Amino acid sequence: MNLLPALGCGAFVAMAEPVAIVVLRRLAAIDVPNLRSSHSVPTPRGGGAPIVIGLVAVALLMHSAVALTFAVALTAFGAIGFADDLFALRATVRLGLQGTASFGIAFLLLHRPGMGASALLLAAVGIALWLISFVNAFNFMDGINGISGTHALIGGAFYALLGAWRGDVLVLAMGAAVAASGLGFLPWNAGRARIFLGDVGSYGLGAGLALLAVCSLIHGIAPEAALAPLALYLADTGWTLLGRIRSGENWLEPHRQHAYQRLCDVGWSHQRVTAATAATTLLLCVLGTASLTDRPVLRAAADLCGLAVLAVYLRSPALLARTVSLPEAA
């Protein structure tokens, strides 16, 4: 498989970000800090636009029906995100647009001769709910410098390896492109953030990674491996929302109760939290590969280890807060 399109995507993103900074400032697409923010300087948002453009170009170069579905998904979710970056859409409008796009994408992906109407509808509902859920999870987790660019790099690279192992050209190519786009964006965001992904970037990357997971599952990749790069984002978002619902809070309201945000609250820097979450995701990917073997005992042990790793991650802010408070109490 020729990886030149993926490399071109990464180079385009890296070179387009300075232009995006200027354009977004003129459009007044600026993220102004507030009480929930993890940054203190007004910063342009919408830096994911070059990522979406680059990924759509790679998908269109592949000339296949599934690749066209990727292009449609990236364009649709990127457009919704960019509109939100510019105009701050109401939550109901945003969710309605996401739902409409997700169902359309699901039917495009599943459309094939001989598939019954009821089976098609059921599968489409499942894929649409998955797309909406993970796109929003990715958006919720994009709250500190470098975290989502790093996870796009790791997740894309892992899917590219799965595609190479399975002989799936599409998963290999799109995974490599997602990884390259994340790498191209990181110099502008990982240290002193000069630009943020914005909703256009988090929606676009979220949709791309969610579809890579679906395609991996459709082509026979075990669920543990297919979901391993996304597991930390899913666990952090799901556990946080569950806690807010159980405590009677309005879970639709913005907040900063995610595990990665609470790690920042106990004194960790953005870079340290990003490194910790990246290392956790890499470990989960390694454990996920056990599901690709024919050794059920190894697979079960790896699954249990993965769950334990996620539990430790989710509990880590409380444990660290306790250790920080001990000297004060003494």
Tokens encoding 273: 């939290």
Helices 117-141 and 91-110, packing angle to 10 deg = 130
SS3 175: helix
Kindly report whether the global pTM for this prediction surpasses the value 0.85: yes
Looking at the DSSP bridge assignments, the partners of residue 31 are 43
CB atoms within 10 A of CB 90: 10
| Rounded Cα distance, 192 and 184, in Å | 15
> Largest alpha-carbon pair distance within the chain?
71
| Rounded Cα distance, 302 and 293, in Å | 11
pLDDT-based confidence at residue 116 (cuts at 50, 70, 90): confident
Render the burial of 235-269: b for 16+ CB within 10 Å, e for the rest: bbbebbbeebeeeeeeeeeeeebbbbbbbbebebe
Looking at the DSSP bridge assignments, the partners of residue 222 are none
pLDDT-based confidence at residue 324 (cuts at 50, 70, 90): low
pLDDT-based confidence at residue 249 (cuts at 50, 70, 90): confident
Spell out the residues 6+ positions from residue 168 whose beta carbon is closer than 8 angstroms to its own: 162, 215, 216, 219
- Write the pLDDT tens digit of every residue in 176-197: 999 999 999 999 999 889 999 9
Total number of domains in the chain: 1
Spell out the residues 6+ positions from residue 49 whose beta carbon is closer than 8 angstroms to its own: 20, 78, 82, 198, 200, 201
pLDDT-based confidence at residue 328 (cuts at 50, 70, 90): very low
- Write the pLDDT tens digit of every residue in 43-92: 999 999 999 999 999 999 998 999 999 999 999 999 999 999 999 999 99
How many residues would you count in the chain? 330
Alpha-carbon distances of 139 from 77, 83, 165, 306, rounded to whole Å:
12, 15, 30, 23
Residue 130 clears pLDDT 90, i.e. is over it: yes
Question: 190 lies in which domain range?
Answer: 4-329
DSSP letter for each residue of 196-232: B-HHHHHHHHHHHHHHHHHHHHHTT--HHHHHGGGHH
Mean pLDDT, range 256-268, rounded to an integer: 93
| Rounded Cα distance, 230 and 136, in Å | 12
pLDDT-based confidence at residue 36 (cuts at 50, 70, 90): low
- Write the pLDDT tens digit of every residue in 53-67: 999 999 999 989 999
Tokens encoding 99: 């739902």
